[in-house]
Structure 1
Amino acid sequence: MGIPDITYRIRGLLLACLVLLVQPLALATDFRQLDDLSPASPEDYRTPGQWLVVVMWASDCPVCNLEAHAYQDFHFAHSDHDASVLGVFLDGSARIEEARAFVRRHGVEYPNLIGEPALVAEFYMAEAATPWVGTPSFLVYGPEGDLAAKQAGAVPMEIIERFIASRSGRSI
């Protein structure tokens, strides 16, 4: 193995590392806003000093349909001072209208993104460092933007509210 071989191997390794570093950013920017389909990222919805609860759901998820009002109630109770909710639909481009109907049916007024099912699963796995199980799934980011909690599967909003309160040093 000569010098040129080592140089090519090092370049290849550096390129592979660069791709791995950029991949999570690419995943996060392939989402679309549900209302106008403009590009968006969950990162766009983080407010410094506030918690962000990201709920990944689907329009045909029975639990998501049952719990949608609780996510809405939480958002209205907290969004003006300490926490907000962001929905991320995994319905994909084939089911945009179903996702929009879900939002209308449940009166959801907080922001929602939509992505292809594999994209949403990859995003969850990259952020949570745990396997994707299904909907609903949650990522809870702290006031500094750090991932503070993850949950694959349903969790009552009261538990998330208590978690945030305990981490914020206040009672609810």
Structure 2
Amino acid sequence: MSIISIGPLMIRADIVVFLVCALAGYIVLRLRLRQLPEQPWMLDLYVNALLIGFVCWKFGMLVFDPIRTWQNPTSLLYMTGGIKGIWLGVTVGFIYMAWRLNRNRNFITIWTQSAWIAGLTFGLSWLLFQSLVGAEGGSAWHLILGIAFLLLLITAWMQFNKPLSEFLTLGLGRNKAVVVVMAALLAWVVVDFTLDRNASNQGHRLSSEEIAEGLKPGLRAPDFILQDQAGHDIRLSQYQGQTVLLNFWASWCPPCKVEMPYMQDFYEKYKQDDVVILSVNMTHLEKSPQDPQTFAMDHGLTFPIVYDEQGSATALYNVVAYPTTYAISPDGIISERFQGAIDEDRMIRAVRKATNHDG
């Protein structure tokens, strides 16, 4: 999860992606339904279902973490319902659409066709966005899935005015459609096997010292030395062999305040599993050197905290949004970067991904 900067405004990238994909689906659906009397009803259903799903996802914390949300209501500004919130939004959105369709059953056919076109457009837009601006760029699977989505979208567009049975079988008939699906699944297995085989035949695995240093996923995390509260020198590299969440924060930062309870709970649960949170306070941005220490005591933080008094580590890791967290594998390789507050579920998934990278 990243932050998109528009002047002084910081916007979560996942919200921007959702809005862009939703807009693409709306535009394509509007064009395909032009001159049809059902167009206003279908577009109203599409927009309302998306709004309901978005609200359920964005404010899902009220359902899944009500106590902590009640204790810190500002978390609703910086957090979402995560994966659980997505499923909640999808479920509630479909319930809403089923309710509307039950009152207008003669629209079921055109709804099925419209939902298929809007869904394919949404998915194609997401794949395109990931390929263009994703942290790891486009992959072979992005290209394959993008071509598949594009072909299905073109076919659905051309078959839109056909009977529903013919539309769902892509105009091929039931038997031919089954053959095409089976062939696609076989091709999926062959391509997946080929990609895995190529990955395993790339030669010896580079050691972390042979990997270039940098801030992108797959590069070696730059090392640094900072001091803890007791004045002891702490190096990032001394945690090699453990999965590290490297977190940059400031005591005055609202999303940092929201994130810290999640960080502490996560650390208490997983510190025995070779997982560590190395917390870097951006002391050069604090009003007083005592503020972060008071903050740590007030929040009962027990994970390692170091103090970046000169801003050297902050600059080294190009921290421009607060908080920023890097997930680093046990061999010292960056797995992911997160800008903005993350919850415990996101931390768990980041640590699993980083840990699996090492091996």
Q: TM-score when scaled to structure 2?
A: 0.35
Corresponding residue number in structure 2 for 1:85: 277
Q: For 1:110, give the aligned amino acid.
A: F
**In structure 2, what residue type is equivalent to 1:98?**
D
Deviation, structure 1 residue 155: 2.1
Structure 1 residues 41 and 167, CA gap change in structure 2 (3 angstroms): closer
Task: Choose the corresponding residue for 1:39, options 222, 233, 258.
Answer: 233
- Cα deviation, 1:74-133, whole Å, max 9, x if unaligned, reads 1111111141111100023863210100110100011100013632321213xxxxxx32
Q: Quote the Cα distance in structure 1 between the aligned partners of 2:310 and 2:339.
A: 15
2:312 alignment counterpart: 119
- Aligned residue pairs total 134
In 2, the alpha carbon distance for the partners of 1:99 and 1:151 equals 21
**Aligned position for 2:257:** 65
Q: Is the 8 A contact 2:259 2:342 kept in 1?
A: no
Per the alignment, residue 295 of structure 2 pairs with 102
Moved beyond 6 Å, runs of 4+: none
User: Does the Cα contact within 8 Å between 2:247 and 2:323 map onto a contact in 1?
Assistant: yes
Counterpart residue identity of residue 298, structure 2: R
Distance in 1 (alpha carbons) for counterparts of 2:311 and 2:323: 15
Distance (whole Å) between structure 2 residues aligned to residue 121 and residue 168 of structure 1: 24
Q: Distance in 1 between matches of 2:244 and 2:354?
A: 13
Q: Which has the higher contact order (CA 8 A, sep 6+)?
A: 1
1:151 partnered with 2:338: yes
**CA-to-aligned-CA distance 1:34-65 (integer Å, 9 cap, x gap):** x2123322223x141x3110110001111111
Question: 2:320 is matched with which residue?
Answer: 133
Give the match for residue 20 of structure 1. Answer: none
Task: Give SS of 2:311's match.
Answer: helix
Provide the alpha-carbon RMSD of the alignment: 2.2
Contact 2:328 2:354 (8 Å CA) reproduced: no
Deviation at 1:150, TM superposition (A): 1.1
Q: Which moved more, 1:106-115 or 1:88-97?
A: 88-97
Secondary structure of 2:326's partner? strand
Aligned partner of 1:15 in structure 2 is: none
In structure 1, runs of 5+ residues without a counterpart are: 1-23, 126-131
Give the conservation status (yes or no) of the 8 Å contact 2:323–2:340. Answer: yes
- TM-aligned CA deviation for residue 163 of structure 1: 3.0
- Pick the structure with more strand per residue: 1
Cα separation, 2, equivalents of 1:43 and 1:96: 25
Unaligned runs of 5+ residues in structure 2 are 1-221
**Shift in CA distance, 88/167, structure 1 to aligned 2, threshold 3 Å:** closer
User: CA separation in 2, counterparts of 1:118 and 1:41?
Assistant: 15
**DSSP 3-state at the match of 1:95:** coil
